[in-house]
Structures are given as structure tokens and as C-alpha cells.
Structure 1
Amino acid sequence: MTASLYLDRPSPVHRLNPVTKLVILLAIIVIVFAVPQWWVPAGIVLFVIVPAALLARVGRRLLTLFVVLLLPLLLVLVIVQGFFFPGAATVLWEWGPARLSVEGLLFALTTGSRLSALVLGSLVFVLTAHPARLMTSLTQSGMSPKIAYVISASLQIIPAFQERARSILLAQQARGLAITGSPVRRMRALLPLLGPLILGMITDVDERSTAMEARAFGATARPTSLALVDDPAAERITRWLVAAGAAAVVVLVIAGVIA
């Protein structure tokens, strides 16, 4: 079974066409980086991404990934920018070279909210869009199968990497590799994992390439999918409206209407 972060749930979010979810994700990314105010990405996280995760019943997994992946980065961002922001004018508290400033906190809040919207939105998409279904829907929409495969395979890189690393670690431990002790010893224990991990990933790429060639993946004729992904007219209209809304926001920002 292909490794991925996808969680199978009987939810309306899962039943959406993956292209629809991809267009919404891209629109969110465009809007949060186009609008300078911090409350826009924060509002998208609170009123769009979090409700979508709860509706999709992947909220617990999303919270775990947030704590593991994003929370440490946000804490470092607040500390570095809040206390060491260059050119700080309004200083709230000072101790040696550290100067807690309003400008630094505002910059950290803006960057952190944008990063949260980007990462959490992407995680909800990955957790609710099956890679195979995504590739089929992209191909049905007229995208080149090669580009569709690249997009679909990118959702599986990190989980596949983690799964292979876990298998190699268990195999090395069965051979007597000790991974406990001082931090230096733990770092040394990681070295025997790098060689098999890198060679294994290269072998996996070669095997996938051979399998794809055997299935005439590079043929000019468009393949026929065994299972089609539903794409109702309402979702197609929604995609166009979402894309038009994101484009309108960009135009308003450039025109100075949204400052």
C-alpha cells in the first residue's frame, strides 16, 4: 500500500473532487500572501481550515501535526522576531541585546498566521485527498498525466521516506544497533541509516520508472481511467468562483483598495 498521510473518512470534504480542494488551497495561499493584514490568514485558519478539518473528522491528526511540525517553528519565530527585530521603535521590554518590540511581535504575528494558513491548509488537503484519486481527477480535467503524477507523488514523498527510515531502523536494531545514550552516540547511530535509506529511495524511483514504462505511461494517447472521479457542475462553478475571488483580491491589493 502506498504510504501517504491520507485518512479515509466518510465525510463531505473527502467526497469533494480533489481538483476542487486543490483550487481552494491555491486560492487560500494567494489571498494570505497578497493581503498584508495578519487577521486575514488568521481568520481563514479559524473559520475555513479548522471547520473543514472538523467536518472531515481529521482534527485530531491535524492537531498532532501542528504541535509536531508547526508549533516549534512558530515559537522560534516569536522569540527571534519579537526580541531581535531590526529597527524596532516601540520597545515593550528590554534586557541586554533582547528588545521586545511591538513591530517585532506584529511581524511575527503576520508571518506566523500566513505560515499557519499555508501549512494547515496543505495538511487538510493531504489528509483528505487520496493521491490516486487526485491523479485521476487531474487527468480527467485535462492536465498532462506526467504533471498529474508529479503532483500526486509529491504528497507521498515524506510519508514514504518516513516508512522506509522506520523499516531500516528496526532492521538495524535487530542487528544490535544501539540508539540510546548520549546525543553524540545517537548521532553516530544515525550514520548507518543514511546509506541504506538513500540507496533504497533511488531503487524505489528506478522501480517506479520501470513500472510506469511497462504501463505505457509516456504514450501520447490519453489513457482511460478504470474508476472515474465525480465532478458535479456545482463544484466546477465553485472552482471558477473561488479562482475569480482570489484574482479579485490580488487586483484590489495592487490597486491600493486593500492596504
Structure 2
Amino acid sequence: MAFKLEIGQYFEADSPIHALDARVKFCCAFAAMIALFCAATPAQLAAGAAFSVGVVAASRVPVGRVATSVKPLVFFLTFLSLFNLIFVQTGNELLVAGPVRITDGGVWAAILYSVRFGLALMVGSLILLTTTPTELSDGFDAMLAPLARLGLPAHEIAMVFSLMLRFVPTLADEASAILDAQAMRGGGFDEGGPVRRVRAIVPVIVALLAGGLRHADGLSRALDARCYEGGEGRTHLREQRLCACDAVAVAATVAFIAAMVALG
């Protein structure tokens, strides 16, 4: 049973988005996602869609790779649309079928919440698609550095974040091996009712959890053997510096937010 993980994997390309500083990507993406979540009119949705499509085009990431990042939440978006379509009862009636009553307010709510959530997710996925794990951890570390003066273990938090990203492919490979081993032993995951399927997946989760704990113990022993004591006085191979393209990205994000406010 193949278990191919493509969500959030870095896609190498020569684009203006890839060249941005990781800190700028964090801040601009976060601000743009907030603006998208606040969209409430058709004009704002159109502006948000144009901005998101423009950012994806500038990143030179294939549309299929971006769609893969949204794919796991398609079921959630569909459920969200149906929930709003059925339970939002404002506006004029469009269809009545027994206890189900569809109104134009429900249709608009179904479109609004699903589209703006999907656009925000698409913009957020570009952070992982256009930034290497090392750049992500270094940028996260730099953003948390001022809080270290207040006693917050900024470097340790950034290191945990980096290790989390690096262990995702490892755990995915281990999950694939466990699924293959279970299938060879006759453990079918697509047979029987829901209860049987849940029971069949429990051993996989237990084995994956045990493997994760084993990896964590091995990593802690390796760090201890190397006398690792945090990031005090440590330097980076490539120091992060802001450039002209970062200023352009900030200006474009500010212009987008101003346009969303004006259209609202």
C-alpha cells in the first residue's frame, strides 16, 4: 500500500516568491489570510481570488501541487457548504423540499465561507511550497528572538518546529512500511464495516506512535552526546537579510488589504 506524502513539500523553482525572506513570507501570508477571512462581499471575494491566483502564478508552483495542499480539506469545505446551505435561512426562498428550505442567503453563505477558506488555505500552503525547512526554522527563530529577552526559549521552540517538519517524511515512510506489513499479514483496511476498519487501523497507530517515540529518544540521545545547549551565540551559514523584493511583497500585501477595506 503506497503512502505518498505531497502536502507541504518544498517545490524548487526560480521565482520571486521563493526569493523572499522567510520572515516576510510569514507576515505577508498571515496578513493576507486574515484579509481573506474577513471578505464579506462579492467584490472582496473577486479581489481575494485575483490576489491568490496572482501569488500562485508568481510562485511558479504547478497548480496541481497547490491543489494537493487543499485536497485533504475538500470534504470539510463540502460539509461547510452544505451546512450553510441548509441551516442559513435568511433571504428569499429558492427551493423547499420537505423539511429542507433553501434560501438565497444560504446559497451566498455556502459560497462565501467555502471560497474564502479555500483561498486562505491556498495562500498559506505557499509558505511550505516555496520555503525550505531550514529557511522556515531560521525565520521562525529570528521572529521569536526578541521574546527571548522575556525568558521565552525562542531557539528551542524554533528547533522543535524544525524537527517537526523534518520528521513528517520519516513518519510517512514508516507508516507506509507498517501498512505494507499489516497487509501482508492479512490485515485489510478496506473490508468490513466501519467498526472493523477502525479496529484494523488501531495497531497501525500504536506501531507508529512507538516508532515516533523511538525516533525522539534517539534524537535526544544524539543531542545529548554532542553537548547541544541551545542557540546562544550560534550563527547561520546564510544570514537572512531583507532586499528590494521583500519591500515589493510588503507593498503588494498592504495594497491588497487596502483594496479589501475599500471594497468592504
Partner of 1:128: 130
Partner of 2:56: 53
The 1-side partners of 2:81 and 2:7 are apart by: 31
Aligned length: 248
Identity in percent: 21
CA drift of 1:196 comes to 0.7
The 1-side partners of 2:98 and 2:234 are apart by: 66
* Structure-to-structure mapping, 1:1-259, within 5 angstroms: 5-12=8-15, 13-37=17-41, 39-44=43-48, 46-54=49-57, 55-66=59-70, 68-85=71-88, 87-139=89-141, 143=145, 144-153=154-163, 155=165, 159-184=169-194, 185-214=196-225, 217-219=228-230, 221-225=232-236, 227-228=237-238, 231-238=241-248, 241=251, 259=264
Distance 1:243 1:119, change over 3 A: closer
2:138 partner SS = helix
The 2-side partners of 1:242 and 1:214 are apart by: 47
1:128-150: CA deviation from partner (whole Å, max 9, x where unpaired)? 11111221244456733223334
The alignment's TM-score, normalised by the length of structure 1, stands at 0.77
Q: Is the 8 A contact 1:135 1:148 kept in 2?
A: yes
The 2-side partners of 1:28 and 1:243 are apart by: 7
CA drift of 1:105 comes to 1.8
Q: Is the 8 A contact 2:141 2:155 kept in 1?
A: yes
2:74 partner SS = helix
The one-letter amino acid of 1:228's match is R
- Backbone CA RMSD of aligned residues: 3.3
The 1-side partners of 2:69 and 2:246 are apart by: 31
Q: Is the 8 A contact 1:49 1:120 kept in 2?
A: yes
Q: Is the 8 A contact 1:179 1:189 kept in 2?
A: yes
Q: Is the 8 A contact 1:5 1:126 kept in 2?
A: yes
Distance 1:11 1:47, change over 3 A: farther
CA drift of 1:24 comes to 1.6
Distance 1:207 1:243, change over 3 A: farther
1:50-77: CA deviation from partner (whole Å, max 9, x where unpaired)? 33334422321112333x3233222222
CA drift of 1:94 comes to 0.8
Unpaired segments of 5 or more residues in structure 1?
A: none
Q: Is the 8 A contact 1:14 1:129 kept in 2?
A: yes
Q: Which moved more, 1:232-241 or 1:107-116?
A: 232-241
CA drift of 1:228 comes to 0.4
Q: Which moved more, 1:137-146 or 1:54-63?
A: 137-146
